[in-house]
Amino acid sequence: MAARIDAHCHYWQLARGDYGWLTEDLAPIHRDFGAAEHDAASAHAGIEGRVLVQAAPTVAETEFLLASAAADPKALGVVGWVDLSARDAEAELEGLADDPLFKGVRPMLQDIADPDWINRAARPEAIARLVELGLRFDALAKPAQIGAVAAFAKANPDLPIIIDHAAKPDLTQGAPSDAWVKAMTALGGLGNVSCKLSGLLTEMDADDRQTPEDAARMLSPVFASLLEWFGPSRIAWGSDWPVVNLAADYGFWRATTDILVAPLSAAERGAILGGTAFGFYGLEGAR
């Protein structure tokens, strides 16, 4: 698949009122974003499709994204939110899955106090229903939770899981932590787990991302490790737009990652820039 797919972007409307994390302190992104803004930001990136990802822990926001996607020809899928610990989780999943654009769920693990919530609190019946419905699981986790995600992935081999933002390694201290390396190595050894090349600029010091070349040099060892662990067929490129604007613009991230993937073969680049997302989320014929 040659098409370039943005496997991770967000739409939101502040007036909806359920984005508790999105405060005025985050001035560059404290406004509404939707399809028109993504089109403008990505105009020179050759994006042919996008996956919309939840940004609020409510089913109402998931329904907002599905309605937005229905009106957006480039939106090929939606990753939403359901409380997997709730007794009505299976019913919620079944209702959302009636929409063919609904591709999976993303519990906001990084914001949950218990780092092992996914193993302790999520209902096994809800996880089983994800599998039965052919849905996927986006893991929004930081290094503190990624060990638990590895255990969860190993225990649920039939559930396709993708690690958002490469689990946000702390890049302000030079090399990522040993705990991150250990957990990501374990995840890479599981065939049901993929990884997103996204969300990494905001984990870096500003001095290390003065130019795309600077950022690519900083990220090169991390990217090399991701390639070793997952291979191009299990790495999907995403922008994390508009959150990326906290560090740099859309074009900066595209330029940075173009430098990283340049040494790869055309087939390998095609997988990372679109093919992996198509396969993981089942985007073929989505519209």
Does the bond joining 242 to the residue before it have cis omega, within 30 degrees of 0?
yes
Residues in the chain: 287
Rounded to the nearest angstrom, the gap between the alpha carbon of residue 258 and the centroid of all alpha carbons in its chain is 18
Q: How confident is the model at residue 2 (pLDDT cuts 50, 70, 90)?
A: low
Q: Look up tokens 């290094």; give the residue.
A: 143
Which among 214, 211, 155, 143 is positioned nearest to 181, based on CA atoms? 143
Q: How many CB atoms lie within 10 A of CB 250?
A: 23
Domain locations in the chain as residue ranges: 4-281
Q: What is the mean pLDDT of the chain?
A: 96
- The whole-number pLDDT of residue 1 equals 45
Between the CA of residue 145 and those of 12, 53, 160, 186, 227, what are the distances in Å?
26, 20, 18, 14, 22
Q: Write down the pTM of the prediction.
A: 0.97
Question: In this predicted model, what pLDDT tens digit does every residue of 44-95 receive, in sequence order?
Answer: 999 999 999 999 999 999 999 999 999 999 999 999 999 999 999 999 999 9
Q: What is the dihedral of CA 210, 257, 22, 98, to 10 degrees?
A: 170
**CATH 3.90.1170.50 is right for the domain spanning 4-281:** no
Could you tell me which residues come within 8 angstroms of residue 200 by beta carbon, excluding any fewer than 6 positions away? 165, 166, 168, 169, 171, 219, 222
* Helix or strand holding residue 43 (H, E): none
Question: In this predicted model, what pLDDT tens digit does every residue of 9-26 receive, in sequence order?
Answer: 999 999 999 999 999 999
Question: In this predicted model, what pLDDT tens digit does every residue of 251-283 receive, in sequence order?
Answer: 999 999 999 999 999 999 999 999 999 999 999
Question: In this predicted model, what pLDDT tens digit does every residue of 156-209 receive, in sequence order?
Answer: 999 999 999 999 999 998 789 999 999 999 999 999 999 999 999 999 999 999
